[in-house]
Amino acid sequence: MLTLAPNSCQWYAIRVKSNREKVVAASLEYRGFEPFVPLYRAQHQWSDRVKDVELPLFDGYVFCRLDARFRLPALTIPGVLMFVEINKTPIPVDDSEIASLKLIASSGCAAAPWPYLEAGQRMRIERGALKDLEGFIVEVKNHWRVIVSVSLLQRSVAVEVDRDSICPIGRRTPSGSLPASRYSIQKAIA
């Protein structure tokens, strides 16, 4: 079992084989790491039945909190392909992005993968299970969703929210340029 000083650990994204996210996370945990695989519920239809399944919000990725100097045990787990890195150096995921994803995962709100977006209205949720979550708002089929993104992976998650619980905190930026933020969006609040 691996034990590391908490202050030397950061969150990293690990690329894994498709449909191996939960198995890799269990193996990471068994080896003493702190894995995180945010999930969402979806219905899959087969020829003879319909079934509710839990799928990863970020297909092919597992987040793991560790000291990057001691990543070899994680790399030897079957199904692990590589750390997300630049010039052979793993790049940490922003702690606030992981905190937002954990809040969404524990809230019980309906969430789903979403295309990575870069334009729109920034907002904050004022009440409810996602209170104080900041992100961007989009409207899909008369339902409001908050978009939270992981910049490093250029992937986003959408979580359905009640319009009455949101409050704008910035103006829509001109010509699609983003304010200094790690979050992304598409459509401003009407």
In the block, tokens 């992100």 appear at 135
Q: Which amino acid is at 135?
A: G
pLDDT at 102 over 60: yes
Say if residues 136 and 186 touch (Cβ distance below 8 Å): yes
**pLDDT at residue 131 above 70?**
yes
Q: How many Å apart are CA 151 and CA 86, to the nearest integer? A: 14
Q: Which domains does the chain have, with CATH numbers?
A: 6-93 (3.30.70.940), 96-176 (2.30.30)
Q: Is the pLDDT of residue 180 over 60?
A: no
List of E strands, the chain: 10-16, 34-36, 39-45, 50-56, 61-66, 80-83, 85-86, 89-90, 92-93, 111-114, 122-125, 134-140, 143-150, 155-161, 166-168
pLDDT-based confidence at 170, cuts 50/70/90? low
Q: How confident is the model at residue 47 (pLDDT cuts 50, 70, 90)?
A: confident
Number of C-beta neighbours around residue 117 at 10 A = 19
Overall pTM surpassing 0.85 (yes/no): no
Tokens of 96: 């606030």
What are the distances in angstroms from CA 135 to CA 28, 64, 66, 109? 30, 23, 26, 15
Structure tokens at 97: 């992005």
pLDDT recorded at residue 187: 33
